[in-house]
Amino acid sequence: MYNVMIVEDSKPILRNIRTLLGSLELPVQVVATAANGEEALELIRQQPVDVVLTDIRMPKMDGLALIEQAKRLRPRLLFILISGYNDFEYTRKAINLQVFDYLLKPVERKQLAEVMDRALERLQSRIPSEAELFKEIVEPGFYEELQLGDQFRHYGKMLILIRRQPFVGGRERWSAEGIQQRLDVLFAPHLCWVFPTQMPGQFLALVQKTAVESYSSVYECLESIRRTLEKAGLSATVGGQQQAGDPDRLPELYHRVSGILDERQRIHQGVVIDTEISPAPALGGSDNLDLDRATAAAFTELILGRRKEQFLLKLNEQLIKWTGENIRLAELERFVALLVDAFSQAGGDLGTGHRLELEASSRRLLEVDDFERFCQGLEEWAKQAFERVQAQNRKSGEELFRQIEEYVRVNLYSYLSIADVALKFHVSPSYISRVMKKYAQSTFVQYYTGLKIKEACRLIACKPEMRIKEVSDALSFSDQHYFSKVFKEYTGYSPSDYKERFPPNNSDSSS
């Protein structure tokens, strides 16, 4: 059954059109009448209408103004214009407003039947496209069986997303049928429709707009849904808003609301969000319970520095803190992703397979049914990740030394600190020190300085025209005096004495 509105300031003409429509035996019903455009526009805002038959000339707001404004509210609304022979210019303008058709006064039964038949064909052709809106939203299996009845089209709706809380058991109790039954009872006699979405644990509900009118606010309505589900053992976060304007924008609105829930959902207690007035925070936005940047950087540094015991102690403290705080799930997910990234960097030589395994195992941790089990699992996961990285590092100590040796030789004319080298190879300075002691029998500074002095000897021997200050500057020593002091410690000669004692023809034997 399709809903029709008649807008006509002449009561006899209005009664005639209504009588003719009733005699056509078409699946239509006149749900509203109005005497002018202003009255009609208000009625369109309040109730679902499929077809509007409207006169052109009316007081307060004429038919063309009504069509122009109503199209902004309901772009898919079909308008049939009622005009006289003298209204041709109006009719031509109506074509630009995408009016479906027009009727000439006096309206005759045959003429009305032909226009309404074509209008119904247009409406019926939209049914598959309405179902198509759900293709990228609902579960594929559910979509294949999806059938939207006539009632679905006739009502303005409120879009609601119901998302299962993390770290809560009872997944087997979550189903579209079960939620549908509970919302049917909650909103009766108003209609609602529930769909399982492609996101596991998330359900889309479309509720008749008039169902919200018995609540003081959208928030109160959403909170009523949350409490109803909570009583049934279904702990949920609920968000939603009125679905205004073009119904074709359903996928856009769904993804917007879902994105807000992504950012707002908490790990312990479900929350309620009127998404029309509560936009999502920026990624990484501030929250007094979130992991701040300094703390996140500290965890990364401990992993890259291979400081296992300190890391595990800090991780345990953080998880104990979060056990008593209802932080956002998005922050917890970002923290786990940060650990994955840091362990992946620390075990760089293990290849892409190492990262993929870290990502898969961490996702499984976020799916457990108890936060305490998650904490225990994350600590064990981190221990194993550390052990794997450390084992890989023990095997590759000699290879790391070769890489460091090559790197510092390339950078003899720069200044490198042990911290610079540690950052380059994603290891701790202390680990660099152990590798240098084992494979070079010296500290990093001694080794690097020795290479610089050898290079200085070569320059003095090969390029006698260079002044001592030029050699010092080229090798990035802080000043000539310091260079001379270090040069003498390593060679036993001052740079000037070395230059005189070992002229160019003896350079090979001296260096």
pLDDT in tens, the chain (511 residues): 788 999 998 899 999 999 999 898 888 889 899 999 899 998 888 777 889 998 888 888 888 888 888 888 787 789 998 887 565 566 666 566 678 888 888 888 999 999 999 998 888 777 656 778 888 899 988 888 777 766 676 566 889 999 999 999 888 899 999 999 999 999 999 889 999 999 999 999 999 888 888 899 999 999 999 999 999 999 999 999 887 655 667 888 899 999 999 999 999 999 999 998 865 444 334 444 456 788 888 999 999 888 889 999 999 999 999 998 899 999 999 999 999 999 988 876 566 777 889 999 999 999 999 999 999 999 999 999 988 887 766 656 778 888 899 999 999 998 999 999 988 887 778 878 888 998 899 999 999 999 999 999 999 888 888 899 999 999 999 889 999 999 999 989 999 888 888 776 544 433 3
Q: Cβ distance 148 to 130 under 8 Å? A: yes
Q: Which amino acid is at 163?
A: R
State how far the Cα of 378 lies from the Cα of 363, in Å rounded to an integer: 11
The Cα–Cα gap between 204 and 137 comes to 9
What does the DSSP 8-state code read for residue 192? E
Q: Please, are residues 444 and 418 in contact by the beta-carbon 8 Å criterion?
A: yes
255-261, long-range: CB within 8 Å, 24+ apart, which pairs? Answer: 257/159, 257/161, 258/161, 258/199, 258/202, 261/161, 261/163, 261/202, 261/237
pLDDT of residue 284: 39
**Strand positions, DSSP E, 386-454:** none
Terminal-to-terminal C-alpha distance of the chain:
100
Residue 462's pLDDT is 87
Residue 276: what residue type?
A: E
Distance CA 335, CA 328 (A): 11
Q: Is residue 46 within 8 Å of residue 97, measured between CB atoms?
A: no
Residues in the chain: 511
* CA 487/CA 456 separation, integer angstroms: 8
Tokens of 83: 């005009």
What is the model's pLDDT at position 51? 93
Q: What are the CA-CA distances from residue 154 to residues 2, 69, 209 (Å)?
A: 7, 20, 11
Q: Cis ω on the peptide bond leading into residue 189 (within 30° of 0)?
A: yes
Q: Would you state the pLDDT for residue 487?
A: 92
Rounded CA-CA distance 384/500 in Å is 60
